[in-house]
Amino acid sequence: MAADFDAAEVDPVARVLPLLPVPHLDREFDYLIPRDLDADARPGVRVRVRFAGRLVDGFLLARAATSDHTGKLGRLDRVVSSEQVLTPEIAALAEEVATRYAGTRADVLRLAVPPRHARVEAEAPRTPETPPAPEIEHAAWSRYRHGENFLEALGGGRAPRAAWQALPGEDWPRRLAELAALTLASGKAAVLVVPDQRDLDRLVTACADVAGADHVVGLAAGLGPAERYRRWLAALRGSARIVVGTRAAVFAPTPELGLLVVWDDGDDLHCEPRSPYPHAREVAALRAHAVGAAIVIAGHARTAETQALVDAGWAHDLVAPRDVVRACAPKVTALADSDHALARDPAARAARLPAIAFAAARSALAADRPVLVQVPRRGYVPALACGKCRAPARCRHCNGPLALPTAAGPDGAAIPACRWCGVADARHRCHACGARSLRAVVVGAARTAEELGRAFPGVPVVTSGGNDVKHTVPGSASLVVSTVGAEPVAEGGYGAALLLDGWALLGRADLRATEETMRRWLTASALVRSFADGGQVVVVADSGIPTVQALVRWDPVGHAQSEVSERAEVGFPPAVHMAAIDGSSSAVAELLEATHLPEGAEVLGPVPLPPGQRLPFGSEGPEPEDVHRMIVRVARERGRALGRALRDAQATRTARRADGPLRVQVDPPRIG
């Protein structure tokens, strides 16, 4: 351990984690601390060290008096900043997440710690004022079973864990802000995670109203690097103890964490698209368990994963009694839900807008209330097929799908164009039968708005979706055509909601198709007034489908219980844990050969990649043609062992300098 420079006198050895991309180097390395860096070289600071002849970034995890390394130690090249940005809690969480998701700590820490901004770091931290006493609407919480008990436990500094099912029409940003303010009053911090910027803005506003703006920061990827780092430092230094943000905010380094909240955990925006692909709900659960914090997984719908936590006793239901739900919910009507309705409108099951939908819209508009129309696809006509043989219309240049991007021109004709390469094809012929006629497979939001404008002349038509998402709309009569997930909030609530093209959502070949459809429908229906106030929802789908029946009953918990039961019968998550290994045949076989799988593990496949899944290759070389997916399935209690085994196998593989990049995802959102 001898050095040719003056090392620090006390604990001269620095344990450093270099931020390197290869799994077999995901470990600490020892370096000697020069005397001139002794004061700044504290655990948690950013450092630069020389590794394999080049300078790399890293974090100083700990200091020690001696090293197990028997050779000569290199010196710590530089302390980038004296700010201790990596807290012991987040360092331990990064290790746990890397093990759970078969990744590396370097990848996790890139998600958890934002890039440094020196000018912002030099700014003096602000001292917030004393937070006001929280104003809690106890009447709102008393509508839920054990709602008051939950508030009492949270305010008393205990760590309750709940799955909160928000009532239709509930002011959920205000309710979550009250929980955060109650946690702040108990002397602890709160982290609230939402899927997108629109929800973030609503929740930040509510938290500022309840707890005071000085105590709240919002973290999102859309912020500039300086402002994002400034807000992140406010959370680290404790000057802002309520953090609201999107998925990466679950790693916010707030001291004395008392509450974690994940809103709408079924939204796929909570799933990180970068390695190691963690889900915000799972990270929040790991963190709450590790530090003994309270956690609330909330939403209008419920995922099978959340229901599994309730079934296991790890979390408890925070739901309203059925009579309260019925009093708050709008009337939900499905297609031909009775013999009388079918006799009155025999063509209801074939019509895109049946008579009951027109009647609900006319009733709401007559009462000077807006009508929400939810459609699954944006655009005009996003999918076309042959008018004779029904074969999908394909581009002659790239074989991509053809669509009508705009309405017909003055001559009544519209030119189809490819959705992949953008080439227009005015002389298209079917590749199967040679016919030139085309028909719409699915109708987009723009075409729907056009049709409704003709059906209700004089009524304003508002569209929301794509790059033009509306946050709010007035409470007067209008038709609001929105794609799923882009529904604006109406002042006072919508008078009616029409949920169109249910088959397009339910018919997807995806494990989570029914769960996702239920979530989309409940989110839109929750914006409608209660039945007592004239609110109606018409879902254009067969009334015999279980998901439709659950919506009619407004029973997200029962639907989630059915999902858990059905998946357990066939061995799908959350009853089991699965790992998807994507790559070439040789790369996947090499990884599995190096993996010591847990007892009882099943290897399934190969199967094709799910449609739309990007290829797992980041190199500049040609992509192999035999890309496929292998599935490894283990019992639920062996999920952590599976993650560790795959993590070790990837380290072994990269240590052997194996080529052919591949991707490992534990519990991916799409299995195949």
Residue ranges for the binding site? 386, 389, 395, 398, 418, 421, 430, 433
User: Which residue shows structure tokens 């309730």?
Assistant: 310
E strands, 328-367, where?
Answer: 331-335
Phi-psi region of 26 (alpha: psi -120 to 50; beta: other; left: phi over 0): beta
Q: Which residue numbers belong to the known binding site for Zn(2+)?
A: 386, 389, 395, 398, 418, 421, 430, 433
For 189, residues 6+ apart whose C-beta sits below 8 A from its C-beta are 183, 235, 238, 241, 242, 243, 254, 255, 256, 257, 258, 259
Burial label for 507, CB within 10 Å (0-12, 13-18, 19+), is: exposed
Spell out the residues 6+ positions from residue 194 whose beta carbon is closer than 8 angstroms to its own. Answer: 200, 203, 244, 245, 246, 263, 264
Q: Which pair of structure tokens corresponds to residue 337?
A: 């839900």
Q: Which structure tokens are listed for 586?
A: 């040789």
Structure tokens, 176: 């979550």
Residue 173 CA: distances (Å) to CA of 207, 482, 560: 8, 22, 23
Residue type, 214: D
DSSP category for residue 619 = S
- Helix 280-291 with 304-311: angle, nearest 10 deg: 30
| 3-state DSSP of 124-160 | CCCCCCCCCCCCCCHHHHCCCCCHHHHHHHHHCCCCC
- Cα separation of 625 and 141, whole Å? 56
d(CA 283, CA 433): 53
User: 424 - beta bridge partners?
Assistant: 417
C-alpha neighbours within 13 Å on the C-beta side of residue 491: 7
Check whether the bond before 488 is cis (ω within 30° of 0): no
Return the sign of the alpha-carbon dihedral for residues 115, 118, 120, 124.
positive
Q: Are 177 and 201 in contact (CB under 8 A)?
A: no
Distance of CA 610 to the CA centre of its chain: 19
Cα separation, 329 vs 382, whole angstroms: 33
Angstrom CA distances, 307 to 46, 160, 192, 509, stand at 40, 16, 20, 23
In angstroms, rounded to a whole number, what is the distance separating the alpha carbons of residues 545 and 592?
Answer: 40
Q: H/E element holding 587?
A: helix 585-594
